[in-house]
Amino acid sequence: PGEYTLTYFPVRGRGEAIRMLLADQGQEWIEDVVNGEIWQKGDLKQLCVFGQLPRFQDGNFILHQSNAILRHLARNHGLYGQDAKEAALLDMVNDGVEDLRLKYGHLIYQNYESGKAAYIEALPAELRPFEKLLAQNDGGKGFIVGKQIAFADYNLLDLLHVHLVLAPNCLASLPLLAGYVQRLNARPLLKDFLESDARKKRFINGNGKQ
């Protein structure tokens, strides 16, 4: 197996679910941190398939698109469910996470000052589908799909983390999700990662809004 390298800006952004998956799976990886000055030069952007980061190297294999990177790691680390139906449900959850992540990104990068209040107002309704899915799986005491952690759990956990910063009370009416965050945060390797200095120093988003 080759060495893992994550090339990304010094933010959580679309890199953090990948980092959490790797950390929780006991994997090591190289952080190739790209600051604005390096990015502005444009050479790296030229190398990126869609002109954007994150970029991920697994040995000589290079991949772009954050969700494709998560899925690649899922296939290689047994994080894609127990059978084809669980894999399909994990894809469904991950697409739901992506839909809300895009709305969040729009708020942060395009509409923060004027959109924040309405966004927070609508947030519990946006998160409730995940609460319902959890309730349907083992009474909400476990993971989002099946009996083992999977890639979509890391992506959902990151989505919940960033929303808890934006709106600390957003899970007040969603007790299963609140318990899910506490339970996953307490996984030993994930806890070490979440409490690391590197993680604490990292801004959530590229423009400093959160």
* Residue with smaller CB distance to ligand GDS, 10 or 179: 10
Segment (H or E) for 72: helix 66-76
Stretch of 22-30, 52-60, 172-180, 181-189 contacting ligand GDS, by CB under 6 A:
52-60
Cα separations in angstroms, 76 against 22, 27, 73, 139, 162: 11, 12, 5, 29, 27
The rounded distance, in Å, linking the Cα atoms of 124 and 70 is: 26
210's tokens: 């959160």
Q: Is 7 in the site for ligand GDS (CB under 6 A)?
A: no
Q: Is 99 in the site for ligand GDS (CB under 6 A)?
A: no
* Residue with smaller CB distance to ligand GDS, 105 or 175: 105
Of the CA atoms within 13 Å of residue 166, those in its CB half-sphere come to 30
Cα-Cα-Cα-Cα dihedral sign, residues 22, 94, 53, 198: negative
Choose, by CB under 6 A, the member of 6, 13, 97, 107 that binds ligand GDS: 13
Choose, by CB under 6 A, the member of 109, 132, 141, 147 that binds ligand GDS: 109
* Residue with smaller CB distance to ligand GDS, 44 or 92: 44
Choose, by CB under 6 A, the member of 30, 38, 88, 102 that binds ligand GDS: 102
**For ligand GDS, which residue has the nearest CB?**
52
Q: Show contacts with ligand GDS in window 60-89 (CB under 6 A).
A: 65-67
48's tokens: 């990126």
Q: Is 53 in the site for ligand GDS (CB under 6 A)?
A: yes
Task: Give me the torsion for CA of 172, 177, 179, 183, rounded to 10°.
Answer: -140
Q: Contact residues for ligand GDS (CB under 6 A)? A: 13-14, 45, 52-54, 65-67, 102, 105, 109, 206-207
